[in-house]
């Protein structure tokens, strides 16, 4: 008896193992296979959905770009700055900075308790 | 010996569960990242110019000028928590066409405001105004924060409330006067 026989076969009447799968094992494999497919399908349905297409969410800010500058830098020159409240205690300043052509070029945010 | 080990293992597992539960409760109380105070109440917004009557009104909100009591929901496309409010408006059928409410969407980019409104049809069922740069609401009323509810009486700002739940806000501003 080799290792492969031990892994895949079952004992026959003479006590030796064979490579022939029994109907019970075949049925069990099919059942487990179907259960696996159903599980994968359920997981894909639940976790595979796309999230809303926001550029970037930081704190409670929904920014155009990933933040790359400080809020102080962002607020120099032309900018759009807004405050959002996450709850009664936490606030975030959200800033979008414009260049001289009027295009938004970077974002920043900072949050604080208060 | 096995029994002792098993009981010790159970105690350790229970302790870990309790520890995680405590962390969860603490996280919920301090308002961890990404959480929304969906059940929360309302809070006064200090920055608003209470008592102010705007010199000009956007055309879509001119119903506020003479109305007895109206509430303007100030949302922003830069405000992630405003998404939650917009969803609450979408899901509340009693708000559809409710003439006591209006919406102001402050935005850096008009296209984002259009996308925001398209995504939330409930907002479009109310009188709404897209305020590019937040110029009107900031200039006239000093408000740069959302989600905020601005309460007007005959066109005069009488209260500014931070809120996180539209039903709680509604009950705070328009309490039920009849016995239930």
- Read off the pLDDT of each residue in A16-33 and give the average, rounded to a whole number: 71
Q: What is the CA radius of gyration of chain A?
A: 30
Cβ pair A80:B134 closer than 8 A = yes
pLDDT, mean over chain A: 76
In a domain, B141, yes or no: yes
pLDDT, mean over chain B: 86
The candidate with the shortest Cα–Cα distance to B98, out of B75, B133, B126, is B126
* Chain B residue at shortest CA distance from A98: B108
In a domain, B49, yes or no: yes
Asked if A65 has any chain B CB less than 8 Å from its own CB, the reply is: no
In a domain, B180, yes or no: no
Asked if B133 has any chain A CB less than 8 Å from its own CB, the reply is: yes
- Of all residues in chain B, the percent with pLDDT exceeding 70 is 88
Q: Distance (Å) from the C-alpha of residue A25 to the closest C-alpha of chain B? A: 34
In a domain, B178, yes or no: no
User: Is pLDDT larger for residue A6 or for residue A76?
Assistant: A76
DSSP A25-79: HHHHHHHHHHHHHHHHHHHHHHH-SPPP--SEEETTEEESS---S-HHHHTSSSE
Number of domains in chain B: 2
In a domain, B179, yes or no: no
pLDDT band at B154 (very low <50, low <70, confident <90, very high): very high
Instruction: Indicate the SS3 state at residue B5.
Output: helix
Residues B16 and B47 in one domain: no
ipTM: 0.72
User: Could you tell me the CA-to-CA distances from B113 to A25, A69, B34 in Å, in that order?
Assistant: 60, 24, 22
CA distance A19 to B25: 56
Is the pLDDT confidence value at B6 over 90?
Answer: no
Residues B143 and B124 in one domain: yes
pLDDT score recorded for residue B160: 95
Q: Distance (Å) from the C-alpha of residue A102 to the closest C-alpha of chain B? A: 11
In a domain, B127, yes or no: yes
CATH number at residue B92: 3.40.30.10
- Domain of B1, in residue numbers: 1-35
Residues B88 and B167 in one domain: yes
Residues B30 and B47 in one domain: no
In this structure, how many other beta carbons lie within 10 angstroms of the beta carbon of residue A29? 11
């Amino acid at each position: 008896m080799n290792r492969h026989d031990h892994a895949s076969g079952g004992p026959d009447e003479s006590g030796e193992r064979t490579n022939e799968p029994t109907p019970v094992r075949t049925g069990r494999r099919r059942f487990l296979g179907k259960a696996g497919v159903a599980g994968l399908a359920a997981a894909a349905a639940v976790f595979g959905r796309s999230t809303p297409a926001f550029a970037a969410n930081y704190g409670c800010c929904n920014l155009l770009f990933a933040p790359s500058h400080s809020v102080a830098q962002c607020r120099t020159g032309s900018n759009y700055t807004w405050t959002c409240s996450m709850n009664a205690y936490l606030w975030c300043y959200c800033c979008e900075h414009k260049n001289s052509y009027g295009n938004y070029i970077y974002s920043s945010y900072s949050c604080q308790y208060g | 010996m096995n029994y002792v080990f098993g009981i010790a293992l159970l105690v350790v597992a229970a302790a870990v569960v309790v520890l995680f539960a405590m962390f969860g409760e603490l996280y919920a109380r301090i308002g961890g990242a990404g959480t929304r105070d969906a059940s929360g109440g309302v809070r006064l917004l200090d920055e608003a110019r209470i008592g102010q009557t705007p010199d000009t009104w956007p055309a879509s909100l001119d119903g506020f000028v003479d109305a007895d009591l109206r509430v303007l929901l100030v949302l922003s496309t830069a405000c992630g928590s405003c998404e939650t409010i917009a969803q609450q408006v979408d899901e509340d059928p009693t708000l559809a066409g409710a003439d006591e409410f209006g919406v102001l969407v402050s935005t850096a980019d008009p296209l984002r405001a259009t996308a925001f409104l398209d995504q939330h049809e409930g907002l479009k069922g109310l009188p709404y105004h897209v305020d590019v740069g937040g110029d009107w609401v900031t200039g006239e009323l000093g408000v740069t924060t959302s989600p905020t509810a601005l309460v007007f009486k005959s066109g005069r700002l009488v209260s500014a409330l931070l809120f996180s739940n539209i039903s709680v806000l509604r009950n705070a501003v328009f309490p039920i006067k009849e016995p239930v």
